C-alpha cells in the first residue's frame, strides 16, 4: 500500500469549508472530504511541531518520549512507525522544508529517505517520482509555508478574504513581520513573544487582516493538496491518504498569537480527512487524536503486534462502523495539559497532579527552560478549567463548579494518562548537534 500522510503545518480545522468555515478557503479539500472520511473532532497531541510529530510516529503520549526538540531521537525502547514499516519491506520517507528535522541523527533518522522540499513547482513531480518508486511506501509529507507564519500568500488572494470593514493596515510592524516572505524567523519569534507577553497588543483590524492572509494561505495550498491526492490515486494500486495538521494557529482568541502556547482548540483541533482506497464517505463525530494513526495503519495492514501503543485505532471508522464514544484526546503544552472526552475539555497543568520533583523529569528533556514554562508554572495556582465544547466552542465559560461529576471523571482520565506516562517515561537518545544544525536552531531563535 502507498501511504501518504500530508501534514499542513498550523492548519486549524475550523478554517476549512468542510469543517464549517464560512469563507471559501478550501474548495478542493472540501471536495476530497465529501468523498472521504472526515473526523469532526480530531486533536493534535501538542500545540507545536516537535512533540506532535514524535508522538505521532511513536504512538505514545508526548511526555513519555521526553523529547522537546526536533534534533532528538526517540529512545530505542519504543517502536517507531516508519522503522516498523521499513522492517516489513516498506520504503519510508520524509519530505519537509524544515532543515532541523533533516538532521541525520534526529527526527529524520527514523525514516529511510529524507528530503528538503518546499512548496514550489518541483514538489508535485518529486511526489510522483516517490510514489512510482515502490508499491509499498510510507511518506510523511510535511508542508510549512503559506499557512505557517509568515503568511505570504498573494495580496490578490488576501483581498478575497478581507471583510469590507477591514482595511489594509499601513505601517504596522506586526503585519509587516508576519506577512513578508523573507522575514527572519527570529523577528517572528520576537514579535510573537511581545504579543504573547502582552508587551504589544495588536489592534482588531491588524488581527482581521492577518486572518485574511492566513486564509489566503489555505486557499493557496488547497489546490496543491488536491494535486497530491490525485497523483496518489493515479499511481497507486492500493493507497491510504491522510490530510492532517500538527497543530492549529491562534489569532488572539485567548490573548495568544501563533502556536506553542495555550491548549485551546484554535491550536489543538486539527483536520483529519482520510481516503482509504476510496472506501466511502463518512463523518465521524467521536474524539480521535493524531497518535491513533499508528495503530490504525497497523490494523489496516493486518499486522500482529506485541508492543503497547497509547493511541487507539480508528480503522473501523474508515469502513463506516461506529467508534466507541469513550475515546479521549490528551495534549501536552508543558506545563499545561488537557484532556477531551465527549466534547468536554479539562484544561489543567502537570503540577495539579505531580509534585515538582516528578514534573522536573519533563523539564530535563528541554534544552532550556523557556519563558512559557515559567509563565506556565504560575498557572498551577489558578483553577482548572472545564468547557462544554458543544455549547461553548469558544472556551470562555468555565463550568468546573457547575459540572462537578464531569470534572471528576476528566480528572480521573488525566490521572490514568499520567500514571501510564510515569511508568513508561524514557529519556530520548541524544543526537549530537552539528554546527549546521546549531546555526539553524539559532536562526529559529531556539538556542
Give the residues lining the site for Zn ion (CB under 5 A).
Answer: 9, 49, 246
Stated length of the chain: 447
Question: Residue 237: how many CB atoms within 10 A of its CB?
Answer: 8
Burial (CB < 10 A; 0-12, 13-18, 19+), residue 355, is exposed
Inter-residue contact 350 to 334 (CB < 8 Å)? yes
- Of the two residues 9 and 206, which places its CB atom closer to Zn ion in the complex? 9
CA–CA separation, 198 and 132 (whole Å): 50
Q: How far is the CB of 246 from Zn ion (least distance, A)?
A: 4
Chain centroid to Cα 398, Å, comes to 25
Q: How far is the CB of 130 from Zn ion (least distance, A)?
A: 22
The single-letter DSSP state of residue 301 is T
Q: How far is the CB of 248 from Zn ion (least distance, A)?
A: 9
- Of the two residues 49 and 440, which places its CB atom closer to Zn ion in the complex? 49
CA–CA separation, 260 and 231 (whole Å): 33
Q: How far is the CB of 144 from Zn ion (least distance, A)?
A: 6
Helix axes 204-235, 27-34, angle to 10 degrees: 50
Q: How far is the CB of 148 from Zn ion (least distance, A)?
A: 7
Q: How far is the CB of 44 from Zn ion (least distance, A)?
A: 9
Closest to 62 in 3D by CA, of 405, 72, 225, 39: 72
Cell of 222: 488547497
| Kind of pairing between the strands at 257-258 and 250-251 | antiparallel
| Kind of pairing between the strands at 429-430 and 257-258 | unpaired
Q: How far is the CB of 247 from Zn ion (least distance, A)?
A: 6
Q: How far is the CB of 91 from Zn ion (least distance, A)?
A: 25
- Of the two residues 169 and 260, which places its CB atom closer to Zn ion in the complex? 260
CA–CA separation, 275 and 438 (whole Å): 39
CA–CA separation, 38 and 149 (whole Å): 26
Closest to 240 in 3D by CA, of 291, 270, 277: 277
Residue whose Cβ sits closest to Zn ion: 49
Q: How far is the CB of 265 from Zn ion (least distance, A)?
A: 16
Q: Which residues contact 353 (CB under 8 A, 6 or more apart)?
A: 414, 415, 418
Q: Which residues contact 4 (CB under 8 A, 6 or more apart)?
A: 131, 139, 141, 228, 232, 239, 240, 241, 242
CA–CA separation, 200 and 342 (whole Å): 37
Lateral strand order in the sheet of 344-349 = 328-333, 336-341, 344-349, 385-388
- Of the two residues 143 and 400, which places its CB atom closer to Zn ion in the complex? 143
- Of the two residues 210 and 410, which places its CB atom closer to Zn ion in the complex? 210
- Of the two residues 47 and 349, which places its CB atom closer to Zn ion in the complex? 47
- Of the two residues 246 and 266, which places its CB atom closer to Zn ion in the complex? 246
Q: How far is the CB of 217 from Zn ion (least distance, A)?
A: 14
Q: How far is the CB of 10 from Zn ion (least distance, A)?
A: 6
- Of the two residues 169 and 217, which places its CB atom closer to Zn ion in the complex? 217
Burial (CB < 10 A; 0-12, 13-18, 19+), residue 156, is exposed
- Of the two residues 11 and 79, which places its CB atom closer to Zn ion in the complex? 11
| Kind of pairing between the strands at 37-43 and 91-96 | unpaired
Q: How far is the CB of 6 from Zn ion (least distance, A)?
A: 14
Question: Residue 115: how many CB atoms within 10 A of its CB?
Answer: 15
Q: Which helix (H) or strand (E) holds 387?
A: strand 385-388
- Of the two residues 139 and 231, which places its CB atom closer to Zn ion in the complex? 139
Amino acid at each position: 500500500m502507498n501511504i501518504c500522510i500530508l501534514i499542513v503545518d498550523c492548519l486549524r480545522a475550523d478554517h476549512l469549508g468542510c469543517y464549517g468555515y464560512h469563507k471559501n478557503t478550501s474548495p478542493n479539500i472540501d471536495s476530497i472530504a465529501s468523498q472521504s472520511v472526515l473526523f469532526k473532532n480530531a486533536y493534535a497531541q501538542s500545540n507545536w511541531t516537535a512533540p506532535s510529530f514524535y508522538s505521532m510516529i511513536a504512538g505514545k503520549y508526548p511526555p513519555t518520549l521526553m523529547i522537546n526538540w526536533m534534533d532528538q531521537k526517540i529512545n530505542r525502547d519504543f517502536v517507531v512507525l516508519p522503522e516498523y514499516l521499513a522492517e516489513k519491506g516498506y520504503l519510508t520517507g520524509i519530505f519537509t522544508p524544515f532543515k532541523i528535522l533533516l538532521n541525520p541523527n534526529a527526527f529524520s533518522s527514523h525514516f529511510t529517505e529524507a528530503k528538503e522540499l518546499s512548496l514550489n513547482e518541483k514538489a508535485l513531480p518529486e511526489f510522483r517520482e516517490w510514489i512510482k518508486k515502490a508499491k509499498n511506501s510510507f511518506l510523511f509529507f510535511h508542508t510549512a509555508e503559506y499557512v505557517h507564519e509568515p503568511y505570504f500568500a498573494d495580496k490578490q488572494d488576501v483581498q478575497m478574504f478581507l471583510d469590507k470593514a477591514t482595511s489594509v493596515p499601513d505601517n504596522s510592524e506586526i503585519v509587516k513581520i508576519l506577512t513578508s516572505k523573507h522575514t527572519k524567523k527570529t523577528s517572528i519569534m520576537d514579535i510573537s513573544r511581545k504579543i504573547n507577553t502582552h508587551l504589544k497588543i495588536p489592534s482588531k483590524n491588524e488581527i482581521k487582516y492577518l486572518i485574511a492572509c492566513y486564509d489566503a494561505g489555505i486557499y493557496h495550498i488547497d489546490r496543491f493538496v488536491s494535486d497530491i491526492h490525485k497523483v496518489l490515486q493515479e499511481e497507486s494500486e492500493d493507497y491510504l491518504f491522510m490530510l492532517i495538521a500538527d497543530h492549529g494557529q491562534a489569532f488572539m482568541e485567548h490573548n495568544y498569537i501563533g502556536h506553542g502556547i495555550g491548549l485551546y482548540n484554535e491550536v489543538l483541533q486539527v483536520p483529519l480527512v482520510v481516503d482509504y482506497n476510496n472506501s466511502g464517505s463518512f463523518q465521524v463525530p467521536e474524539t480521535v487524536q493524531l497518535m491513533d494513526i499508528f495503530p490504525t495503519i497497523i490494523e489496516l495492514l493486518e499486522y500482529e503486534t506485541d508492543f503497547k501503543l497509547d493511541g487507539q485505532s480508528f480503522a473501523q471508522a474508515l469502513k463506516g462502523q461506529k467508534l466507541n464514544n469513550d475515546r479521549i484526546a490528551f495534549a501536552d503544552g508543558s506545563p499545561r495539559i488537557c484532556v477531551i472526552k465527549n466534547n468536554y475539555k479539562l484544561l489543567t497543568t502537570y503540577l495539579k497532579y505531580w509534585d515538582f520533583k516528578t514534573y522536573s523529569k519533563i523539564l530535563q528533556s528541554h534544552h532550556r527552560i523557556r519563558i512559557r514554562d515559567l509563565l506556565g508554572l504560575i498557572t498551577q495556582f489558578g483553577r482548572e478549567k472545564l468547557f462544554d465544547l458543544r455549547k461553548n466552542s469558544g472556551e470562555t465559560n468555565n463550568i468546573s463548579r457547575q459540572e462537578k461529576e464531569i470534572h471528576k471523571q476528566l480528572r480521573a482520565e488525566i490521572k490514568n494518562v499520567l500514571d501510564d506516562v510515569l511508568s513508561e517515561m524514557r529519556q530520548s537518545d541524544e543526537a549530537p548537534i552539528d554546527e549546521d544544525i546549531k546555526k539553524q536552531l539559532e536562526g529559529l531563535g531556539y538556542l
